[in-house]
Structure 1
């Protein structure tokens, strides 16, 4: 482990029980984390997290070679992966046989696999590619399901009926989803070096999306704490800031010493189908 990583594991976890467990993997722009969940006992057996990576995708590729927990024969594996090549297509315009035609709108040229992910609650389908550093590698996970990075955040958002801004933080970046009238209006990820830059992006989001601060709920998750610089910055504009928790019956004792919202989006990946 280095100073930017942490591994929390139930001392009673037996790697031989992996066939009864799910592996959840979240690869961010600058972070990498995973969780092991026993399907039978509904217990979170382990959580690994590494922040401030030069590349989350590259860090994942590296740990696949050295981390024995990633190589166990799990019942199911789910990957949530940041990519710059992603586009949302309204379901009434989506045609599964024309995936390649939509790739012309990607920000980067692609030569790999195309993936699709239905967001039926919000009425669209996401089409995306994965970073080359891990796309080929994931083919070894025969039972692996691949999701775009915001999939778990959107699964948490489904229970909210009001206009809501969702922010999911790593140490050096944050993901944004803005939901209005049960529609996903905006999604983006921003890297931030300091509080001034964070303040700039928050004002940019508020102004460009014409967010009504009195009518919009703010829900946050990830690596942020009440009273820190980013939290206090948000309070300059929003009257209330709520932390997102995973509405689940999972036993999370392994995380008892950590803030409950730190790994909400990671554990919510368990709800994605």
Structure 2
């Protein structure tokens, strides 16, 4: 993926206090976009690749200090930190005072002792996503921006998928968001969330194995179930062609139906950044 920057002529530096700023932090890239909530239109997008010789924290610190559009004040700032350290808790069982315990049950607490834990309710799933991010990122971002809301990729991924699902379907819908070395997968049936998981993978065969394992464990029909792919994937990728050999219905997810996009966004592959784009749906 190449570095990208697009900005619409309607972007007005004098009224940014009415705009929403969304930032995504991932090991392979730093991205942000700006939404005008009055017109419900995205008017700015920026993405910078991160090389193996750069640190995510270093790039984040530099961008916040030097990018002119990050020096402006915004009405709200949404920060999405891509992390596998997350779990879902049904609302009926959730206790805010025990959120660290939920994560410690799933992950080694000693390994992540310098992380800070957040919780966010996924309204459409009637559950809470518990996740952690390195404390130094939280300290940096909270010191630079006011009114900051933190997310991880699971939250907009699940929320938007459920919003896009009709209530009367009996089909199983499989949503997969692909990143460089991991992917999130969720299963929805009858507008209910049946499964969410994150898998690491090193090659296309591992990706296929984990996907078909989910189909086997949930006894999903490979002829009637639908897979919707998003993230770092396209119809020319081996991942797509391999899935098509085993699953009848495989599609690249549609761009977000919930927002408008300035004409300059035709240069941006929105499917690659769908979680970033959909963050405002979660507030």
Please indicate the TM-score interval, normalised by the length of the shorter structure. 0.7 to 0.9
Structure 1 match to 2:263: 253
Secondary structure of 1:226's aligned partner: coil
- Distance in 2 between residues matched to 1:59 and 1:166, nearest whole Å: 30
Secondary structure of 1:202's aligned partner: helix
TM-fit CA distance, 1:118: 0.8
* Contact 2:7 2:43 survives alignment (8 Å): yes
TM-fit CA distance, 1:78: 1.0
Unaligned runs of 5+ in 1: none
TM-fit CA distance, 1:269: 0.9
Structure 1 match to 2:173: 164
TM-score by length of 2: 0.82
Name the count of aligned residue pairs.
Answer: 270
Matches within 5 A, 1:9-158: 9-51=7-49, 53-54=51-52, 56=56, 59-109=59-109, 110-140=113-143, 141-158=145-162
Instruction: Write the deviation string for residues 95-152 of structure 1: whole angstroms up to 9, x where unpaired.
Output: 2233343342141423443211112321211222212341211222230111122111
Matched, 1:186 2:192: no
* Greater helix share, structure number: 2
- Distance in 2 between residues matched to 1:59 and 1:165, nearest whole Å: 34
Stretch of structure 1 that moved more, 8-17 or 129-138: 8-17
TM-fit CA distance, 1:75: 0.7
Unaligned runs of 5+ in 2: none
Structure 1 match to 2:226: 217
- Distance in 2 between residues matched to 1:228 and 1:260, nearest whole Å: 17
Stretch of structure 1 that moved more, 227-236 or 170-179: 170-179
The alpha-carbon distance between structure 1 residues 258 and 99, as it changes in their structure 2 partners (threshold 3 A), is closer
Instruction: Tell me the C-alpha RMSD between the 2 structures.
Output: 2.6
TM-score by length of 1: 0.85
Secondary structure of 1:160's aligned partner: coil
